[in-house]
Amino acid sequence: MQPAAPDETDATAEPVRDLASAFDDADDVARVLARTGYLADDALATVTFLATRLGRPLLLEGEPGTGKTALAEAVAQALDLPLVRLQCYEGIDATQALYDWDFPRQILHLRTLEAVGRPDGAAGGDDAVAAAEAQLFDERFLLARPILRALREAPCVLLVDEVDRADDEFEAFLLEVLSTWQVTVPELGTIAAATPPLVVLTSNRTRELHDALKRRCLYHWIDHPGLARELDIVRSRLPEVSEALATQVVSAVQRLRETAGLVKPPGVAETLDWARALDTVGATRLDAETAAATLGAAVKYREDAERVRAMLDRVLTA
C-alpha cells in the first residue's frame, strides 16, 4: 500500500475513458499500480478495484505517511488521467471548492466598455446595461475550483485530501456533490459530470466523519506496512540504496513505531527520506553516529528527536 519505484509504465497507453472497466480485477490493480511505483496489498487493491467498478468514492483513513494521498496519485498516473486535488482545511467552504468569479478581469472589462462607449457617446440604455452585466458572468470570467474542474474534466481522479480538517457544513456539501455528480452555478445553470470521476477522500482521523458520508463511500483503513512490505517499497523506490542499509533503516523505523512512543511516528515517506539521506552522505550502514546526524529526515518533532537519540543504541541493536 505504498510507493515503490517509477518504472516501465506503458508510455503508449491511451487514457482510460470508462473507469468501470479500467481494471480487470484486484490483481490487475496491484499490477498496474506497481508500474507507477505504488505497492498495494490485497485489501487495498480490492477496495480500489471496487471503487472503480462500482463508481463509489473511496474513503481512506490512516496515520499520516501511510500512502493515502499517494494512492490517488498512483491511480491517476497509472490510468493516464488528470489528478484534481482539493486540499481541505479549517474554514474551507463550498465557494473555495467550486468556483469563483474573476473580479479584477470583470472590472477591467467594464472599464474597457466604458472607454469604448465614451468616444462616440454611446450611452446604451437599459438593454446595453443588461448586456454588459450578462457579459460579466460568462465562462471567460469563471474561475473553476477543484470540484467543478473534476466534474468537467471527468474521467479523472478527484483527491479530496484531509477531509477531516473541514467542518460539518463542508462535509454535507461534499455528500451532496458525491451523490448527484452535479453542481449549479446560478449564472450558468447546472453542470454535471459526463461520467463520475474516481473520488479518493483521505482522513487522518483528527475527528470522526459523519456516517452519511461514510455510507456513500467505500471505506479502507491503511496501516503502516510490515517490515517485508516496507523493505520492498524502499528497495523498489531507491534501488541505489544497498539492501543491507535499506534493511537497517526499515528495521529501525519499525522499532521506533512500535516502541518509542513518538508524537509522530515516521511514515513510509520518512523511511524513504531517511534512506535517501543516508545514501546521500555516503553511509553504507546505519550506526549511532550517522543515525543521529540524519535523524531529521525521519522524525519531525524536537521531543521525538530527543527521545530517539536517547535510545539509538537500543533501536539499532535490537
Q: How far apart are CA 99 and CA 191, in angstroms?
A: 12
Question: What one-letter code names the amino acid at 109?
Answer: H
C-alpha–C-alpha distance, residues 227 and 234, integer Å: 10
Mean pLDDT of the region 72-94: 95
pLDDT value for 9 = 45
Per-residue pLDDT at 8: 44
For residue 142, the cross-strand partners are 101
Average pLDDT in the 268-286 region?
92
d(CA 81, CA 133): 37
CA-to-CA distance for 25 and 115, rounded, in angstroms? 62
Q: What is the mean pLDDT of residues 121-139?
A: 70
DSSP for residue 318: -
Residue 166 has pLDDT above 90, yes or no: yes
Provide the grid cell at 81: 488521467
pLDDT tens-digit readout, 35-66: 998 999 999 999 999 999 999 999 999 988 88
Mean pLDDT of 70-96: 95
Residue 123 is predicted with a pLDDT of: 53
Q: pLDDT-derived band of residue 279, with 50, 70 and 90 as boundaries?
A: very high
- pLDDT band for position 120 (cuts 50, 70, 90): very low
Confidence of residue 187 (pLDDT cuts 50, 70, 90): confident
pTM: 0.82
Q: Which residues, in sequence order, are CB contacts of 62 under 8 Å at separation 6+?
A: 68, 204, 205, 221, 222, 223
Find the distance separating the first CA and the last CA of the chain, reported in whole Å: 26
Distances from the Cα of 69 to the Cα of 48, 157, 225, 287, angstroms: 13, 11, 15, 32
- pLDDT digit string, tens, across residues 89-104: 999 999 899 999 998 9
Neighbours of 266 (CB within 10 A): 28
C-alpha pair distances (Å), 295 with each of 73, 146, 273: 28, 37, 10
